[in-house]
Amino acid sequence: MVTTIITFLIVFSILVVVHEYGHFYFAKRSGILVREFAIGFGPKIFSYRKNGTTYTLRILPIGGYVRMAGYGEEETEIKPGMPIGLVINSEGIVTTINTSKKTQLMEAVPMEVVSIDLEKELFVEGYLAGNEDELVRYPVFHDATIIEEDGTEVQIAPIDVQFQSASLPNRMMTNFAGPMNNFILAIIAFTILAFIQGGVLSSDNRVGEVEADGIAKKSGIVTGDRILSVAGKKTDKWADVVAAIQANPDKKIDLEIENADGGVVKVIPVTPKSNKIDKEKTVGMIGVSPYVEKSFLAKITFGFTHTWSVMVQIFVGLGSIFTKGFKVFSGPVGIYAATDQVVKLGPMYVFNFLAVLSINLGIVNLLPIPALDGGKLVLNFIEGIRGKPLDPDKEGIITMIGFGLMMLLMIFVTWNDLQKFFF
């Protein structure tokens, strides 16, 4: 139980942090201010500022997020009449604005705000404590910081460093970078897995390990032989070989074999042994397994080929929405239940599970649904076609509708997972 919980939290956090780092990296490259990069959610435990970004560790160890300036991210609201503290340098320019009651700055000058603009004109105007007769106005430094109510210090977001000020290609790349990072993580994970295992299973019709005292061994089949056909049916792939042999339990059939050494083709008669794999299904087996490719190139390319293979399977699964409905989706509850199963199988299975989940997260985020990265990319494409962005208010409404639909889907999926795994 404890191991499953810890594994779930680690896996889920890795997936989300890697995803968010994609957005973070390309936003920074595009000149977009990333105000905060958070690991976890909830109250802050620790924070550190560097190059305009505040890095925070938060109490709930589930995922993380990035706050990009102007990216649907609300500036800390400072209203007229609100008391704040100002740190002013020797040139009379505000470098820090404190809105938190939890943080006290000895050098801060108390002010009651009358007017403030931290996006365009960069000023703050109000009455200093003890002098409500004289209205004072201070310029605000472009890279000034603001201490938010919970004590987190982040940089203010002038309009020139906001998301919408970046070029369209840069914004599109920033939106796509999260899912892209998930695909890269899967490629790396599958490649590492191939090296740890010492090789990868070949998908062609070559024979790998031959079971001692099995039917294949007795028939003279050796490692490296190719099974060209089974019972007259052509078998180019290992999946074809397995399907054809399993379909003929206790039946005498001919295998067309290409010899591993000289390439000589011969026909070998075998009778697959029947074996029950469940109460209702009996299959034939001859005691062979697929060939294991151990070359360096095979291990390197496996990360790419297997990632693509899993992506195709996921797209096929998504297509079944039209026949099976949204039951094909799993939420956090389903992921937790699956984590419990792979933890029992061992670390290698957990590693494989991480890669598959990463691909799932990348693909789901690319679905053309408002509030997801795919929905944002659709809006980017529309902007490119129109030659101008959508009205911010309309885009906000579309995003809110998408977010609402996502919440409804999450509730449905969670309920479905609860029924599937616990009832």
Of the candidates 20, 73, 148, 153, the residue annotated as catalytic is 20
CA–CA separation, 18 vs 63, rounded Å? Answer: 9
CA–CA separation, 174 vs 157, rounded Å? Answer: 18
The pairing of strands 83-88 and 109-117 is: antiparallel
Assign residue 72 a region: left if phi > 0, alpha if psi is -120 to 50, beta otherwise? left
φ, ψ (nearest 5 deg) of residue 121 = -80, -20
Using only C-alpha atoms, the chain has a radius of gyration, in whole angstroms, of: 30
Nearest to 290 by CA among 225, 194, 219: 225
Q: Residue 421 class from Cβ within 10 Å (0-12 exposed, 13-18 middle, 19+ buried)? A: middle
CA 222 to chain centre: 43
Known catalytic membership, residue 258: no
Continuous segment of H or E residues that includes residue 401: helix 392-422
Continuous segment of H or E residues that includes residue 408: helix 392-422
Continuous segment of H or E residues that includes residue 171: helix 168-197
Q: 214 vs 182, 208, 236, 270, 298, CA distance in Å? A: 43, 14, 23, 11, 29
Sign of the C-alpha dihedral, residues 78, 81, 85, 91? positive
Q: Which long-range contacts (CB under 8 A, 24 or more apart) does 383-390 make?
A: 383/168, 384/168, 389/164
Say how many Å lie between the first and final Cα of the chain, rounded: 19
Q: What amino acid positions are annotated as catalytic residues?
A: 20
